Each structure stands twice: as C-alpha cells, then as structure tokens.
Amino acid sequence: TIQRVGAMITIFFAEGPIRNFEEAARSDREAYAVFHDALLQNGVYFPPSQFEAAFLSLAHTPELLERTRAALKLAFAAV
C-alpha cells in the first residue's frame, strides 16, 4: 500500500489503505526491512521505518527519479 498526501509518501506492506496506527502496526515490517535494504543496495536512501515519510520535491531531477524508479522495481521484486 502506498500512502500519499501531497508530496509526502510512505509504503506499507499491507492489504488496503492504512487509516490508523493500529492498521499500520499490523503491516509486514520484515518485508519493509527487506525492501529498505534493497533500496540502499541500489543507492536510494528511503526512510528506515515505514512509520516515517519520504518527500518528493523539485530538487528531484527526471534522471534521479528514473534511477529511483529502477531501484524501487528491484526492491519490490526482492520482497
């Protein structure tokens, strides 16, 4: 589940949207750890906890976003 508000995003390994802390706490934190490690191995520094958020900004160039997209694809495949 990808949760987003404006430019702030976070990823939970859970079915359906996360509406409260209880639902977030039931998400698969071990899967997130594998996902996070795969991103690090591919040069993407994502929040170390799914209870934190990542932010997109105009500082992210198209080239950087493409590298991030490729790393995300590998990280999701690793889970």
DSSP 8-state symbol, 1: -
Q: What does pLDDT average to in each consecutive run of 10 residues of the chain (79 residues)?
A: 93 94 95 97 95 93 95 97
Tell me the pTM: 0.88
Domain 2-78: state its class. alpha beta
Q: What is the DSSP letter of 35?
A: H
In the chain, what are the domain boundaries?
A: 2-78
Amino acid 36: pLDDT: 97
